[in-house]
């Protein structure tokens, strides 16, 4: 597993954990499972998990977009392989997911549940 993938995966996991206190009960309520208040116990850890999440996202962006040591000519094999494009796209998907999970407490009151 490359460092870019590890940082992106760590960002998503810690983002989900950071908002588990808010999203968890909603998911359980939608699924019809009662007694999901145990997710509330993660609330005191939310600031630390958010710092970890954004730190990992920052590391993933640095590792993904850092300047390359070798110069590649346009159209050459080393310019931007397909896997690199997929990795960048997944990093942006992870970033949007983390932002939506982070801001969930602000827009949760407007949901029709």
Angle between helices 46-65 and 3-18 (to 10 degrees): 160
Determine the pLDDT at residue 55.
Answer: 93
Determine the pLDDT at residue 54.
Answer: 93
Residue 60 is encoded by which pair of tokens? Answer: 């993933």
Q: Are 20 and 70 in contact (CB under 8 A)?
A: no
Q: Are 46 and 104 in contact (CB under 8 A)?
A: no
Helix (H/G/I), strand (E/B), else coil: 22? helix
Which ranges of the chain does DSSP label H, i.e. alpha helix? 3-18, 20-31, 46-65, 82-102, 104-107
pTM: 0.59
Residue 36, exposed/middle/buried by CB under 10 A (0-12, 13-18, 19+)?
A: middle
Q: What is the largest CA-CA distance in the chain?
A: 59
Determine the pLDDT at residue 65.
Answer: 84
Alpha-carbon distance of 102 to 110, in angstroms, equals 16
What tens-digit pLDDT sequence spans the chain (113 residues)? 577 778 778 877 877 777 766 766 667 667 666 554 566 777 788 889 899 999 999 998 988 888 766 666 666 666 556 657 888 888 999 999 999 888 888 888 887 76
Determine the pLDDT at residue 49.
Answer: 87
């Amino acid at each position: 597993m490359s460092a870019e993938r590890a940082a992106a995966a760590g960002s998503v996991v810690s983002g989900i954990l950071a908002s588990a206190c808010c999203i968890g009960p909603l998911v359980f309520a939608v699924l019809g499972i009662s007694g999901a208040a145990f997710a509330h116990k993660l609330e005191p850890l939310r600031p630390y998990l958010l710092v970890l999440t954004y730190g990992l996202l920052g590391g993933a962006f640095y590792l993904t977009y850092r300047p390359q040591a070798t110069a590649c000519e346009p159209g050459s094999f080393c310019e931007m392989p397909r896997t690199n494009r997929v990795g960048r796209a997944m990093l942006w998907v992870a970033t949007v997911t983390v932002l939506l999970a982070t801001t969930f407490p602000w827009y949760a009151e407007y949901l029709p549940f």
